[in-house]
């Protein structure tokens, strides 16, 4: 039976059992699955004791090889769903210098794969936990084929944390737990797993990895194995099931995001193209975000207007890009909370949104305080200077929704000592192992998809180093002349205990200062909990780059601006040079 139900996940979490080769697969299925506690069998399809004549090349005749039979009363549906095949026997030497050994091994491997494929059995390449490099080399030889997946053989001694982490970026479909890694408590006979193993298994559950419990020390004869009972393994099953049950509960938000995991979503092109109503819906649900705005505005109002003058001074506040009024609402709440008087101009250029904004204001009788301005902020002649600008053009990478350009335009009607909320924002980058994202982009076969920055709910990825700052923008600007172009060189050092790693691209985050100490952001080490508006950005590399232990990954990022658009370019120059990505914004850009 599954370790847990599908309530909090897309699939039930399955646990299988490894059994030795058996000619009678039906019996093994009956014992372990139909009448047992396991969800599937993991077993060889070929008698493991078999060894061909080493002096003679094999003729490719399946009849001669001792295979698990198809006429065993196991239906094709059962083969497909309940049996995972293990390549056997272990003496297969595909790289032997001896031509006969190699040709035989090749013939046997090929037959097993074809046989498994005919039965629709799921095939698994069996890997050691410390052999990420072998897997990586194999994956590259196979040109990053999307159907290659990994089964991890979990040993008692685990590699260092950073080394282990690399697997979280890989398609780990199964983890094989030998019963030998379980320990027994001194008092009583209770089984338990070492802490690091528990954590690893919990992390693998996060990747929907299936578990296989295995008690095969030395391959035994087919007969004795088929006769063994699975009951003794139930105790191990319980341990694994406990780990599954003890996981943190999944939040409503996380649950709603299951289907978007590791899917590349084109990033918004704002300004000229108006957002759809549905994107406003999503953004407005973010309570944490608007609460931060309310606090920031409150603090600005308190500092700008002393208590004794609260009743005489009305602060002029311009909401730049008022949308459907959430920032107007936050501003009014801040005024109420602080007892300050406000005069609000709600500037919005999307005519559809202005209708909703207008309705909101009339419904709440805010007409006396709030003036709706249906205009692009660049074209608006403000009737008076603003004390406070409030805006919300922050993108997943900070400046990528043209906040700098929009606020430049608004600055001309801001008082010399006026305040901009947000007052600054910084973007961050972090190198990722993300083969799934690479395969997705590669499947599209064009340059556009291989160098377009996207929004991604990052899940099955490995974060190789801490993130680093890229570009910072502050408002109001001290000089009109200051350009919004930026260039930054970053050097990421791959930790020595990671070993080698593949870099498929970079995650992009941001942190923003709304006002003084009121901050929020998505940068992983300091991220604001429950801030749901922003998915991370993903800047792909057209060809993944291999970095070795302790080496430096040198990356260059540009924010480029011309008269009509803004775009990013990026490249790697060490350990090897990539092409410059998105030259002249040919694949992705933001219209001005």
Interface with a second copy (CB under 8 A): 57, 99, 102-103, 136-137, 140-144, 481, 483, 485, 487, 543, 546, 571, 573, 576-580, 583
Would you say 80 or 142 has its CB closer to a second copy? 142
User: CB of 60: closest distance to a second copy in angstroms?
Assistant: 11
Nearer to a second copy, 92 or 302 (CB): 92
Helix H or strand E encompassing 296: helix 287-304
* Other CB atoms within 10 A of residue 562 CB: 12
Beta 454-455 vs 537-547: how paired, if at all? Answer: antiparallel
Q: What is the spatial distance between Cα 390 and Cα 515, in angstroms, rounded to a whole number? A: 10
Q: How far is CA 170 from CA 176, 295, 465, 536, in A?
A: 16, 42, 17, 19
Instruction: State which residue, 137 or 265, has the beta carbon closest to a second copy.
Output: 137
Q: Is the CB of residue 130 less than 8 Å from the CB of residue 166?
A: no
Instruction: Write down the least CB distance from residue 564 to a second copy, Å.
Output: 16
Is 209 or 578 the residue whose CB approaches a second copy more closely?
Answer: 578
Q: How far is the CB of 16 from a second copy (least distance, A)?
A: 31
| Residue 529 Cα to chain centre, angstroms | 17
- Measured from the CB of residue 541, what is the shortest distance to a second copy in angstroms? 12
CA distance 402 to 273: 13
Pick between residue 144 and residue 199 the one whose CB is nearest to a second copy: 144
CB of 179 to a second copy, least distance (A): 35
The number of C-alpha atoms within 13 Å of 334 and in the hemisphere containing its C-beta is 27
- Is the Cα dihedral 512, 516, 519, 525 positive or negative? positive
CB 558 within 8 A of CB 544: no
Nearest approach in angstroms of CB 504 to a second copy is 15
Residues paired with 540 in a beta bridge: 505
Q: Could you tell me the smallest distance in angstroms from the CB atom of residue 444 to a second copy?
A: 14
Report in angstroms how near the CB of residue 505 gets to a second copy at its nearest.
17
CB of 577 to a second copy, least distance (A): 4
Query: Toward a second copy, which CB reaches closer, 39 or 569?
Result: 569
Q: Which of 54, 103, 142 is nearest to 435 (CA)?
A: 142
- Taking the least distance from each CB to a second copy, the nearer of 141 and 478 is 141
Rounded distance between C-alpha atoms, residue 500 and residue 546, angstroms: 7
| Least distance (Å) between residue 61 CB and a second copy | 15
Q: Identify which of 542, 529, 537 has the alpha carbon closest to the alpha carbon of residue 446.
A: 542
CB 49 within 8 Å of CB 219: yes
Query: Is residue 225 exposed (0-12), middle (13-18) or buried (19+ Cβ within 10 Å)?
Result: middle
Looking at the Cβ atoms of 76 and 487, the one nearer to a second copy is 487
CB 522 within 8 Å of CB 307: no
Judged by beta carbon, residue 170 or residue 178, the one nearer a second copy is 170
The SS3 of residue 113 is helix
Pick between residue 84 and residue 570 the one whose CB is nearest to a second copy.
Answer: 570
Shortest CA distance to 377 belongs to which of 400, 353, 345, 399? 345
């Amino acid at each position: 039976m599954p370790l847990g139900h599908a309530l909090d996940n897309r699939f039930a979490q399955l646990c299988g059992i490894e059994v030795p080769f058996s000619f009678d697969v039906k019996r093994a299925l009956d014992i372990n699955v139909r009448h047992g506690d396991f969800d599937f069998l993991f077993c060889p399809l070929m008698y493991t004791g078999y060894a061909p004549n080493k002096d003679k090349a094999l003729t490719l005749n399946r009849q001669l090889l001792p295979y698990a039979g198809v006429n065993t009363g196991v239906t094709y549906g059962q083969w497909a769903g309940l049996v995972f095949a293990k390549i056997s026997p272990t003496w297969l030497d595909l790289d032997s210098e001896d031509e006969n050994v190699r040709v035989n091994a090749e013939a046997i491997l090929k037959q097993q794969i074809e046989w498994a494929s005919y039965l629709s059995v799921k095939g698994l390449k069996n890997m050691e936990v410390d052999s990420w490099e072998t897997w990586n080399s194999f994956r590259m030889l196979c040109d990053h084929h999307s159907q290659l997946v990994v089964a991890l053989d979990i040993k008692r001694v685990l590699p260092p944390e950073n080394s282990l982490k690399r697997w979280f970026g890989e398609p780990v479909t199964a983890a094989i737990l030998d019963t030998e890694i379980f320990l027994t408590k001194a008092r009583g006979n209770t089984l338990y797993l070492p802490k690091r193993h528990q954590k690893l298994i919990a992390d693998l559950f996060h990747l929907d990895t299936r578990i296989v419990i295995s008690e095969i020390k030395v391959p035994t004869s087919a007969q004795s194995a088929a006769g063994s009972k699975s009951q003794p393994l139930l105790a191990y099953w319980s341990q694994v099931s406990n780990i599954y049950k003890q996981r943190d509960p999944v939040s409503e938000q996380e649950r709603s995001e299951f289907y978007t995991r590791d899917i590349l979503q084109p990033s918004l092109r704002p300004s000229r193209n108006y957002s759809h109503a549905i994107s406003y819906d999503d953004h407005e649900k973010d309570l944490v975000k608007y609460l931060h705005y309310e606090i920031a505005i409150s603090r600005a109002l308190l500092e700008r207007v002393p208590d004794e003058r609260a009743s005489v001074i009305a602060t002029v506040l311009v909401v730049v890009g008022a949308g459907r009024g959430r920032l107007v609402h936050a501003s009014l709440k801040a005024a109420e909370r602080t007892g300050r008087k406000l005069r609000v101009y709600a500037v919005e250029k999307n005519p559809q949104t202005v209708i909703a904004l207008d309705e909101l204001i009339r419904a709440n009788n805010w007409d006396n305080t709030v003036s709706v301005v249906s205009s692009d902020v660049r074209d608006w002649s403000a009737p008076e200077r603003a004390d406070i600008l409030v805006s919300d053009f922050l993108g997943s990478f900070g400046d990528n929704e043209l906040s700098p350009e929009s606020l430049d335009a608004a600055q001309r009607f801001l008082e010399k000592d006026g305040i901009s909320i947000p007052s600054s924002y910084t973007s961050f980058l972090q190198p990722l192992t993300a083969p799934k994202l690479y395969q997705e982009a590669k499947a599209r076969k064009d340059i556009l998809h291989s160098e377009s920055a996207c929004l991604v709910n990052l899940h099955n990825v490995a974060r190789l180093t801490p993130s680093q700052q890229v570009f910072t923008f502050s408002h109001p600007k001290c000089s009109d002349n200051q350009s919004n172009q930026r260039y930054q060189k970053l050097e990421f050092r791959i930790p020595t205990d990671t070993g080698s790693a593949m870099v498929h691209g970079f995650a992009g985050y941001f942190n923003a200062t709304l006002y003084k100490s009121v901050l929020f952001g998505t940068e992983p080490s300091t991220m604001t909990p429950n801030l749901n508006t922003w998915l991370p950005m993903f800047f792909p590399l057209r060809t993944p780059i291999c970095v070795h232990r302790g080496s430096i990954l040198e990356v260059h990022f540009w924010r480029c601006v011309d008269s009509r658009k803004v775009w990013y370019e990026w490249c790697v120059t060490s350990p090897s040079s990539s092409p410059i990505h998105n030259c002249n914004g040919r694949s992705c850009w933001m219209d001005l």
